Structure 1
Amino acid sequence: MTTKRKLINVQTPQPRPGFLGAGHTARAVIQTDYTQSDPFIVLMDDMLDKKDEVPVGGPHPHAGFETVSLLIEGEMGDGAHKMKAGDLQIMTAGSGVVHTETIDKKVKMRLMQLWLNLPKDKRWTMPKLQDLSLKDVPIVSENGLNIKIYSGSFAGVTSPVSNYVPLILADIQMQAGISTLQNIPSSFTTFLYVLEGSLKAGDDDKIISQNQVGWLDRYTDNTSSELRLTAGDTGVRFLLYSAQPQGNPIVSHGPFIGDSQEDISRLYSEYRQGKMNDISFFTKAN
């Protein structure tokens, strides 16, 4: 018998002033203990309306996890890895990398950046970048339903990106009153984040509204499960994140994820000693 998934928790993350200064608003979407959000560590909804050309941001290190960045609006970066609205970038920080994000012009943008755990045996893998431009994103579009599949297999199609941790990431738009029934693995940790409008989820039609996040129940078996979704009166646009839990405790400190406090101390030491290369080193090496 197919399991029917349902909403068990709806949260409303509040906007806070962001670290980039004036015009930067940040929402910490994940506001639950890691034992419940595994393998999702952090998801930031960053909105930036920068009205000057003073540089902000800059180089910073990461190690022990992946960043999964979906640009909702605007553009960022430069060169071969420049992102435009609708583009996805996955950076495997792995053994350690220095990443530079400098914004030195007027810009209006919205970025969803996820920190995704790595399997324990891949924690210190070689860093790499994967870029997926909007034109290459698989799309399912029918009867008032539009789904962009950025990662994993969903709605009968599969994204071209590769994953260490099985991850489904979909950007879903539905016209008012449209319903859809979708399959996701019953053991995957799954949440929905509403960008616009409102959504009814599950057979009991629990409502998630704009800027709210809804967490689904989760099972231990690896069978398929069904999720019913219905758009509200004005339609809806939301992101679906669903991934396989790793079941290993992590230690998080600053820009680093490790299996122990000793890992964190080692990573800070390596960074201070200049032993972490810029991500461009690895993209050239690959």
Structure 2
Amino acid sequence: MEKEIIEKQENIFRRDVKNHWYVQYEEAEFPSIQKGWVLPVEGWKDFDPFILMAEDWFKRGAFSDHPHRGFQTITYVVDGRLEHIDNAGGRDILEPGDVQYMNAGWAARHAEEGVGDDIAHTLQLWLNLPKDLKHSETIYQNIYSENTPAFEFEGGKVKVFSGDIAGVQGPLNSLVPITLAEISLSEGTTYKHQLPENHNAFLYVLSGDMDFGINKVNLQKHGVATLTFNENGTEENESTLTIKANKRNSKVLIYSGAPIKEEIVPYGPFVMNTMEEIKQAFRDFHHGEFGPPAK
């Protein structure tokens, strides 16, 4: 039995850092305040199934009523309070550490607002939908930090928002297989994070100082890295990413998902497979097919 366990460990795919960079920020026109691209949209083929990730600081009025079609969003609140309003009657306030999942599907119309005088600070990820799901039902799901399952170990804690990580199942119900975890480590702690070996993955450092992968790439706050993965692997086989914290209160978000491998056209608030489908989405919106405004 012991030999079998050792052999399994030796055969597991060990992840490394493929590319890494730091987010560059620009001041924005009020009520937006500052913006940076964690994942720039022009790299979507490398990020598949992820399209882009934006980091935004904004006040009320920056993201009032607007439409979406053809993809999903995962919004992590870093700081401040975020009010979600949709034209199906949904309204809620998310606080730091909370996550909202939206499947825009065929026709979402919503608003994302800072609360009162708060400056909302968010990370919003756009997650692709395969062609046969681009006209699926619109869904919203809020995952609150205090209700998110987690596991702890000496020197660390992992909150599981989505996927099965070390036997802990996250509550986020994406239409495509993904994982999302928030990992907090104290200084000197080493942790091996488990991911399906066929998932494309990236990470974003929220705070602290950490080394990642076999080559021990060092990243600090606002650092981003894409990871190697086994493109011919399976969902069932695990891979590991080694993480070491060099400072106290080191925290990182890790996202992973199975590539969809379809051509897409991200344009404005829509993500479709052809430009004609983009044009149709604009026509449908202007003809009222997305329903009344969110307010």
Q: 1:177 to 1:40 in 2, by over 3 A?
A: same
3-state SS in 2 of match to 1:203 = coil
**Partners of 2:248 and 2:102 in 1: how far apart?**
35
Give the aligned partner of residue 73 of structure 1. Answer: 79
Structure 2 stretches of 5 or more lacking a match?
1-10, 85-89
Q: CA deviation digits over 1:155-197, x for unaligned, max 9?
A: 3201122121111111111001100112211111111111111
Q: Please state whether the residue corresponding to 2:243 is helix, strand or coil.
A: strand
Aligned counterparts of 1:234 and 1:87: Cα–Cα separation in 2: 22
Counterpart of 1:237 (choices 222, 238, 251) is 251
Secondary structure of the structure 2 residue equivalent to 1:233: coil
Aligned-residue offset at 1:257? 0.4
Which residue number corresponds to residue 291 of structure 2? 277
The change in CA–CA distance for 1:23 and 1:41 in structure 2 (over 3 A counts) is closer
CA deviations over 1:17-39 (Å, ceiling 9, x no partner): 235x1661111001362111001
Aligned sequence identity (%) = 28
How much does 1:90 deviate? 0.8
Give, in whole Å, the separation in 2 of the partners of 1:104 and 1:135: 20
Conserved in 2, the CA contact under 8 Å of 1:38 and 1:189? Answer: yes
What is the Cα deviation at residue 124 of structure 1?
Answer: 0.9
Q: Secondary structure at the match of 1:77?
A: strand
Matched, 1:260 2:260: no
Name the CA shift for 1:279/1:86 in 2 (closer, same or farther; >3 Å).
farther
Q: Residue 277 of structure 2: SS of its match in structure 1?
A: helix
Matched, 1:224 2:238: yes
CA deviation after TM superposition for structure 1 residue 119, in Å: 2.0
Other structure's SS at 1:81 match:
strand
Q: How does 1:199-210 map to 2 (within 5 A)?
A: 199-210=210-221
Distance 1:251 1:56, change over 3 A: closer
> Alignment partner of 2:259: what SS?
coil
- Written as runs of structure 1 = structure 2, the 5 A alignment for 1:172-211 is 172-211=183-222
The residue correspondences of 1:8-157 to structure 2 (distance < 5 A) are 8-18=18-28, 21=30, 24-31=33-40, 33-48=43-58, 50=59, 55-77=61-83, 80-103=91-114, 105-157=116-168
1:201 and 1:104 map into 2 onto residues whose CA distance is 36
Post-superposition offset of 1:235: 4.3
Tell me how far apart the structure 2 counterparts of residues 258 and 267 of structure 1 sit (CA, whole Å): 9
Aligned length: 276
In structure 1, list runs of 5 or more residues that go unmatched: 281-286
Deviation of 1:55 after TM superposition, in Å, equals 4.2
One-letter identity of the residue aligned with 1:67: T
Q: Which SS does the other structure have where 1:121 is aligned?
A: helix
With the length of structure 1 as denominator, give the TM-score of the two structures: 0.90
**Could you report, residue by residue, the CA deviation over 1:196-219 in whole angstroms, capped at 9, with x for unpaired residues?**
111111122111121110111122
1:284 aligned residue: none
Q: TM-score, normalised by structure 2?
A: 0.87
d(CA) in 2 for partners of 1:145, 1:279: 44
Amino acid at match of 1:120: K
Compare 265-274 and 31-40 and name the one that shifted more: 31-40
1:66–1:115 Cα contact (<8 Å) kept: yes
Other-structure match for 2:179: 168
1:283 match: none
Segment drifting more, 234-243 vs 36-45? 234-243
